Amino acid sequence: MQHRRQLPWRETTHPYPIWLSEIMLQQTRVAQGLPYFLKFMEAFPTVADMANAPEEKVLHLWQGLGYYSRARNLHATAKEVTFNMNGKFPKSFSGLLKLKGVGDYTAAAIASIAYGEAVPVVDGNVYRVLSRVFGIETDISSSGAKKEFTALAASLLPPGQASNFNQAMMEFGALQCVPKNPDCTICIFNQTCVAYNTGRVNQLPVKLKKQKVTDRFFNYLIIKDANGRTLVNRRGDKGIWHGLYEFPLLETPAALSKEETVVLIQSFKNLGFTPKNISIINTEPVIHKLSHQKQHIWFWEVITDTELPEAVEKEHLKTIPLPIVLHNFATEYWP
């Protein structure tokens, strides 16, 4: 383990920081997740601190990390552990699986690292290492792949060394057996690695299933009332951004011309006022890519002489959770 990265959650066996880091690092690179981990640990030194915080604060700190369901599950689990489990995380793989947002991988990581339970961790890094070293051509997105790779990883676990083995496998995949152009000439397995010795490093692991990406077209209205304040709405209980705030939104099935969009905004009954002036802020759309959708976003400035009691000062936007694309816009628009 002398080559492992020095990471704060690796310096402890306490389940709270291990759990927090594993939730954060789901579909997130360590370099991106580390500042968030430190920020969360400063704001919530214990699981009880997180449980007692409003969800809005948790979402605000999470802003920019994406996949916001992770943050909502994080908060729900913190409350479950604090209020229903006397502040103690379950001490077994099976018990950890009962926590919201904790799947096989996360439960195995916590159980092996915090408690030394002999359960293998199988994530994208482990899939890659095992498929290459053993020459496994099973499609890792197929229904049987998880069972096959978990069984293989379990057979390799050295007695009493689950924590070190699992962390070593994840580190090896992250640092040496990387997805593209790994330096196999310095790899300790290059004498026995099937992929390297058969010229299939770039073909393994096999992943055939691709997620369909949907194009969506958003027009956000930056409404300025008679007092120079603006409107924001809190999203409801559906969608990837539920619980976050956003500007009033008009979504269209396709991109419209500037003239068509102005007419649409003028007829938007939910405004509750007659716009004095409408102007486009960005003529080229901001492109925001998610795993399952590609958003084409335009921002429109809508001026009214009406005083809107529900409008907020621009400084208020710094205190509430916004999707990162809206946060970035607001930061640039109101420097």
pLDDT in tens, 192-201: 999 999 999 9
- The verdict on whether 301 is a catalytic residue reads no
pLDDT of residue 297: 97
pLDDT of residue 208: 87
Tell whether the model's pLDDT for residue 3 goes beyond 90. no
304 vs 172: CA distance, rounded Å: 58
Chain mean pLDDT for the chain: 93
322 vs 243: CA distance, rounded Å: 9
Contact 263, 252 (CB under 8 A): no
Residue type at 209 in one-letter notation = K
Tell whether the model's pLDDT for residue 60 goes beyond 90. yes
pLDDT of residue 273: 83
Instruction: Tell me which of 104-113, 161-170, 207-216 is least confident.
Output: 207-216
Contact 332, 253 (CB under 8 A): no
pLDDT in tens, 293-305: 999 999 999 999 9
pLDDT bucket at 96, cuts 50 / 70 / 90 = very high
The tokens describing 223, both together, are 């409404």
Q: What is the DSSP string of 102-137?
A: --HHHHHHHHHHHH--------HHHHHHHHHHHT--
pLDDT in tens, 29-45: 899 999 999 999 999 99
Torsion of CA 40, 43, 46, 51, to 10 degrees: -90
pLDDT bucket at 82, cuts 50 / 70 / 90 = very high
The pLDDT of 40-58, averaged and rounded, is 97
pLDDT of residue 177: 97
Instruction: Tell me which of 160-164, 185-189, 288-292, 295-299 is least confident.
Output: 288-292
The tokens describing 35, both together, are 């500042």
78 vs 75: CA distance, rounded Å: 5
pLDDT of residue 251: 94
The helix, strand and coil proportions of the chain, stated in percent and rounded to the nearest 5, come to: 45, 15, 45
Q: Distances from the Cα of 180 to the Cαs of 30, 170, 176, 203, in angstroms?
A: 17, 16, 10, 10
The tokens describing 227, both together, are 């007092």
pLDDT of residue 242: 85
Q: What are phi and psi of 4, to 5 degrees?
A: -70, 155
Tell whether the model's pLDDT for residue 21 goes beyond 90. yes
pLDDT in tens, 246-292: 999 999 999 999 999 999 998 877 777 888 999 999 999 999 998 88
pLDDT of residue 211: 75
N-terminal to C-terminal alpha carbon distance within the chain: 46
Structural domains of the chain in order of their starting residue, each with its CATH number: 1-119 (1.10.340.30), 120-158+165-210 (1.10.1670.10), 214-333 (3.90.79.10)
Which of these is catalytic: 22, 137, 148, 171?
22
Tell whether the model's pLDDT for residue 111 goes beyond 60. yes
